[in-house]
Each structure stands twice: as C-alpha cells, then as structure tokens.
C-alpha cells in the first residue's frame, strides 16, 4: 500500500506546470505536545504515546482523510531511501530506531513526520512558486491537529521546539531553485553571502555548498521568532524575486558573452542523455540541469522542463532500485539509470536555435 | 556617527533590504560582534554560546532541568532543549542567544487558540480546587460552597463542549 504511493507518478490534473527557475515550494511547521519531553529526550514508551496521540488527532482531519500512516521501523531500507530522495522525510528520520512515524497523503502534497527532532513536523509541498496556497494548507492542517492536541506553547516565545532556532512560529518556508546561470558565472558564493545577510539560508539540495549537483538549491528563512508567518514569507518572497532576476540576468549574460560554449554544453548534454550506457547520478543531474536550462531559453519543447524535474528524482540511487524492483549494486545501477535516461530522451530533438 | 546601541563611534554599517525598503544601522565593533552581524555565515548556536557564557554568571554551569534532566552542558554541546520546562530553566542563557539568532525575541505569529483556552481552563480548575481546599481547611463554608458551585459549572461546561 505504502509502496504504491511512492511508486506512483506524481501528476494528475491539478499538478501545475513546471516553470523556469523555481521548482517547488514547501512549508514546514515544527510542533510539540504539552507534557511530553521532546523526542531527543523521550523514552521509547513516551515516543509511542506521542505517536498514537498524534495519529488519533489526525484521523478525523479533512485534509488527511486520504492519507496513510506508517511507523518508520515498519518500512524497508529502500522505502526510507525513496522518501528521503523525494524530500518527504529527513535523512535523520529515516535512521530512527523506534517510535517514529509518517503520515503521508496519497498525492504526496503533505507529509507529517512524527517524533523527528520535534513531536510533529507538518510539511506541505507544491510544484512551482506558491506560498499563499501552501501556507493556507499548512495552517489548516495545523489548526485541525491542534483542535485535538495541546501544543507546547508560550505566549512570549511561541511554539516551543527542541532547537531554539525553530522557536516562535516553528515555520521553515523554502523553495527549491534551479540556478545554473549563477553557478556557471561563478556568482553563487557571492549570492549566498548576500542572501545570508538578509537572514535567508541557501544550501545545495543534492551535494554540498555552491557546487550543488544539478545547480539546485534550497532557499529558506533562517529566523522564526519575532516576525509573523506572513512577514517571514513576504521577506523570503522579495529575496526570491531578486534571485530570479539575478539568475535570468546571469543566463542572458552567459548567452551573450560565451554563447558557443554554452550552446555546446547544452547540446552535448542532450547527446549524452540519448546515448549513455553507464552514468552516475551526479553526472545525470548536471545533464538534466542543462536540459532544463535549454528549455527555459526556448531551445527545447516545454515538456522537457517537467521531464527534467521528474528525472532529477528518478535518477537517484533509491529510485533506480525501486524501478528495478530490488536492491542492486552501484555499477548495475549506473547501467539501469543510463537505460532509463536513453528511453526518455530517445526522441529528444536537437536544440532549436532559430530564436537565438 | 554613533553606534545604534551605545555611545561608541560606529565602524560597522549594516544595510538590510526588507520588502524593498532599505534599513540602515550603524554599530560599533563591540555591538556588531555581540549581535553576530560581522560574520553571518558563522551565526551558529555554539558560537553564540561562547559569547553568552562570558556574560552569564557561573550559576549557568550548574543549571539542570528537573523535569527532563537536561543539563546546561548538554544544551551547550548539542544545542537542543529536552522539554518545554527547559525553556524556563535555561531562560537566562537562552535570552541573549535568541536575540542574536532571530529577528526579535517576542512571538508575533499564530496563536493556537484551542491549546491556549484549554490550558487556561485547566489552570482555572486547578486554582479553584486549591482555593476550595483552603476554604474548607479554614472552615469558611460559605466561600467553599460558592467555589464548589463555580467548579461544578466549569466542569459541566467542558462536558457540554466535549
């Protein structure tokens, strides 16, 4: 049952179209129950009590009637890896021994972690850039759960969390951004520094620092106390807007100053994806990043943007094994990954340079 | 130019752009260091901790949360608190940390209406029971009867809403 949710292609009619630069929006709320120690300090029996209290509280909630709840230790190693690769759970939660759980909706738009660092981590995610609907959804879920549970809350300090960096709203709002222009023009370190000064954090989503695989970064608020949720979102949004501008500017500049080299790179990426027989996930991510960039330039048909986004996830080691139906060793994975990409890019056209 | 926080000459000039509006602040070296603005990348809890420690008296070392057993040393090392009561116990070392870590030190976000009213309710039942006991002990039966009726009303109220 759980396996089938993970294996399902995300999609359906409601899925918004993939857009340039911004891949997805997420809001995470950290909450704890009154009168129970935080998970890091709790006995297994206390964690179990919290787990069942939380699952009971969620059972009647409107937004969660199409969801499934499962204990982490009932999941196979591979299922946990898949959840991490889809960014539904944290690597930390995937490693816990006992007393932690996950509530996941069928459409994977909402995933609640129970007994991670805090008792509850309510997460809502959505493709594209859309904080208002993601916040509304998260806020409703939170209020629904809160109608059945007493949260640890202090009038002055807000929602009490295991780590003081999450105190107050307990909210981490983030977007996943595709920033190949800033990476290729070697401006990413500068941008990270500037954005940090505004209380906004930037980290590579896959890999580390400014050399993130696929040039995909997660941008989020660092501060959670002293501002309302809407003020935090507004501040993040204005930073994101300027990041998008900077990225587009960097792309245009690359195309002007180093046109042939850039076109060569994007063109070869498509060639590699059509012809590879062995490929590691890091290389695959970088090729897919160039495909997404070429699509944004209008040199590839629009549908390749969505395909690149899907492949970013499906080339991850866990997903390659999921589609193989079993655990396989890394060299065989590289072969299967190459086969997957070849199949998807078989009919990919050459770059259309007519408008450039 | 004088420092925003004290009378020293300012040497650090912080410019932040929030929602398209520019905010400027001039700080002296000391206040800038204390606020952690000189190097935002290193704005980590343990860094801030070291600074705070100089300011907090030696009592901090022996702080321990009676509710969950978390010690000040553990908090310092791991940066995590153990339970809601820790927030009261470690408040003296926490307050300066929060100041450097967040945009402010007062919660301005969502208020969990249900939790708050239920907690207030529990507390008022608790205090009524205590007053009732006191009244009985003092043989003030008139007051005791009054308190008993209040308590009964409150408890009926919960049954009605439950």
Interface confidence, given as ipTM, is: 0.84
d(CA A7, CA A225): 38
pLDDT digits 0-9 by tens, B30-89? 766 666 565 544 444 555 555 555 555 556 667 899 999 999 999 989 999 999 999 999
Say how far apart CA A292 and CA A269 lie, in whole Å: 11
> What 3-state class would DSSP assign to A317?
helix
Q: What angle do CA B44, A181, B43 make, to 5 degrees?
A: 5
Taking only Cα atoms into account, the Rg of chain B, rounded to an integer number of angstroms, comes to: 24
Residue with more model confidence, B10 or A309: A309
| Straight-line distance from the first to the last Cα atom of chain A, in angstroms, rounded to the nearest whole number | 49
Mean pLDDT, residues B130-140: 89
Residue keyed to tokens 């997805």: A24
The dihedral of CA A4, A8, A12, A14: what is its sign?
positive
Assess whether pLDDT exceeds 60 at residue A119.
yes
Element (H, E) at B74: helix B72-78
Contact A196 B40 (CB under 8 A): yes
Is the distance from CB of A168 to CB of B102 less than 8 angstroms?
A: yes
Query: Which residues of A are less than 8 Å from B39 in CB distance?
Result: none
Cα A115 from Cα A96, distance rounded (Å): 9
Highest-scoring range by mean pLDDT, A12-21, A83-92, A166-175, B90-99:
A166-175
Q: Is residue A205 within 8 Å of residue A22, measured between CB atoms? A: no
Q: HSE on the CB side for A245, CA within 13 Å?
A: 6
Cβ of B87 under 8 Å from any chain A Cβ?
A: yes
Looking at chain B, how many residues does it have? 162
Entry pTM: 0.81
Contact: B84, A34; criterion CB under 8 Å: yes
Cα gap A155→B106, rounded to integer Å = 9
A vs B, Cβ pairs < 8 A, gives 134
Residue B99 C-alpha, separation from nearest chain A C-alpha, in angstroms: 9
Residue A135 token pair: 């916040």
Residues of A in contact with B120 (CB under 8 A): none
Taking alpha carbons only, the member of B115, B74, B92 closest to residue A38 is B74
Average confidence (pLDDT) over B123-140: 86
Report the pLDDT value the prediction gives residue B43, as an integer from 0 to 100: 47
Q: What is the pLDDT of residues A239-254, one digit of tens each?
A: 999 999 999 999 999 9
Q: Cβ contacts of residue A342 below 8 Å, gap of 6+?
A: A273, A274, A275, A276, A277
Is residue A116 within 8 angstroms of chain B, CB to CB? no
Pick the range with the lowest mean pLDDT from A5-19, A128-142, B38-52.
B38-52
Helix (H) or strand (E) holding A221: strand A216-221
Q: Considering only alpha carbons, which residue of chain A is nearest residue B18?
A: A235
Residues A41-97 pLDDT 10s: 999 999 999 999 999 999 888 888 888 999 999 999 899 999 999 999 999 999 887
B1-23 per-position pLDDT tens digit: 777 677 777 776 666 555 455 55
Q: Does A193 touch chain B (CB under 8 A)?
A: yes
DSSP state of B139: T
Contacts of A226 in chain B (CB under 8 A): 102-108
Q: Most confidently modeled of A96-110, A114-128, B13-27, B108-122? A: A114-128
Structure tokens at B23: 């905010």
Rounded CA-CA distance A311/B38 in Å is 41
Dist CA A203 CA A192 (whole Å):
8
The rounded distance, in Å, linking the Cα atoms of A343 and A273 is: 9
Residue A166 DSSP symbol: G
**Mean pLDDT (whole number) for B125-147:** 88
Helix, strand, or coil (residue A173):
strand
Alpha-carbon span A169 to B104, nearest angstrom: 12
Average pLDDT across chain A, whole number: 91
Q: What is the dihedral of CA A345, A346, A347, A348, to 10 degrees?
A: 30
Residue B160: half-sphere exposure toward Cβ, Cα within 13 Å: 6
The backbone region for B20, taken as left when phi is positive above 0, alpha when psi lies in -120 to 50, beta otherwise, is left
What CA–CA distance (Å, rounded) separates A337 from A272?
Answer: 13
Total Cβ atoms within 10 A of residue B109: 19
Decide if A231 and B108 are in contact by the 8 Å CB cutoff: yes
Asked if the model's pLDDT at residue B24 lies above 70, the reply is no
Distance in Å, alpha carbon of B7 to nearest chain A alpha carbon: 25
Q: For residue B17, give the chain A residue with the closest CA.
A: A198
**CA atoms of B121 and B157, how far apart (whole Å):** 10
Contact B106 A225 (CB under 8 A): yes
């Amino acid at each position: 049952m759980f396996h089938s949710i993970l294996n399902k292609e995300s999609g359906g009619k409601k899925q918004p179209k993939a857009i340039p630069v911004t891949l997805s929006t997420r809001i995470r709320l950290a909450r704890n129950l009154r009168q129970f120690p935080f998970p890091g300090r709790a006995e297994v029996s206390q964690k179990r009590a919290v787990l069942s209290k939380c699952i009971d509280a969620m059972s009647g909630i409107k937004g969660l009637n199409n969801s499934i709840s499962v204990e982490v230790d009932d999941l196979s190693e591979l299922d946990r890896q898949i959840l991490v690769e889809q960014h539904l759970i944290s690597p930390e939660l995937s490693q816990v021994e006992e007393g932690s759980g996950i509530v996941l909706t069928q459409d994977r738009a909402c995933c609640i972690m129970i007994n991670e660092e805090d008792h509850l981590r309510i997460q809502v995610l959505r493709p594209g850039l859309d904080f208002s609907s993601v916040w509304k959804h998260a806020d409703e879920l939170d209020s629904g759960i809160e109608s059945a549970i007493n949260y640890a809350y202090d009038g002055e300090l807000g929602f009490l969390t295991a780590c003081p960096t999450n105190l107050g709203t307990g909210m981490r709002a983030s977007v996943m951004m595709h920033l190949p222009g800033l990476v290729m023009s070697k401006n990413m370190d500068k941008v990270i520094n500037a954005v940090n000064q505004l209380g906004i954090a930037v980290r590579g989503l896959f890999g580390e620092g400014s050399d993130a695989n696929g040039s995909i970064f997660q941008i989020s608020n660092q501060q959670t106390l002293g501002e309302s949720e809407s003020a935090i979102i507004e501040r993040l949004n204005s930073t994101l807007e300027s990041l998008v501008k900077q990225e587009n500017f960097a792309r245009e500049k690359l195309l002007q100053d180093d046109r042939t080299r850039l076109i060569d790179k994007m063109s070869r990426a498509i060639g590699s994806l059509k012809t590879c027989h062995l490929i590691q996930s890091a290389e695959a991510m970088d090729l897919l990043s160039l495909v997404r960039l070429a699509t944004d330039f209008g040199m590839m048909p629009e549908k390749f943007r969505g395909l690149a986004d899907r492949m970013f996830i499906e080339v991850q080691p866990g997903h390659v094994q999921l589609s193989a139906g079993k655990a396989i060793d890394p060299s065989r994975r590289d072969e299967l990954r190459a086969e997957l990409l070849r199949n998807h890019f078989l009919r990919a056209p050459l770059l259309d340079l007519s408008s450039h | 130019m004088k420092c925003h926080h004290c009378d020293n000459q300012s040497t650090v000039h912080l410019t932040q752009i929030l929602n398209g509006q520019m905010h400027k602040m001039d700080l002296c070296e000391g206040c800038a260091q204390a606020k952690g603005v000189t190097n935002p990348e290193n704005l980590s809890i343990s860094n801030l901790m070291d600074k705070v420690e100089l300011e907090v008296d030696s009592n901090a070392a022996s702080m321990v949360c009676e509710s969950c057993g978390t010690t000040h040393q553990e908090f310092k090392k791991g940066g995590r608190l153990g339970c809601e009561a820790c927030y009261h116990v470690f408040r003296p070392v926490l307050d300066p940390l929060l100041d450097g870590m967040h945009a402010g030190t007062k919660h301005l976000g969502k208020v969990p209406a249900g939790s708050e009213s239920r907690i207030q309710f529990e507390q008022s039942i608790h205090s009524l029971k205590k007053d009732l006991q006191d009244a009985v002990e003092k043989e003030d039966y008139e007051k005791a009867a009054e308190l008993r009726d209040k308590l009964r009303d409150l408890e009926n109220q919960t049954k009605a809403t439950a």
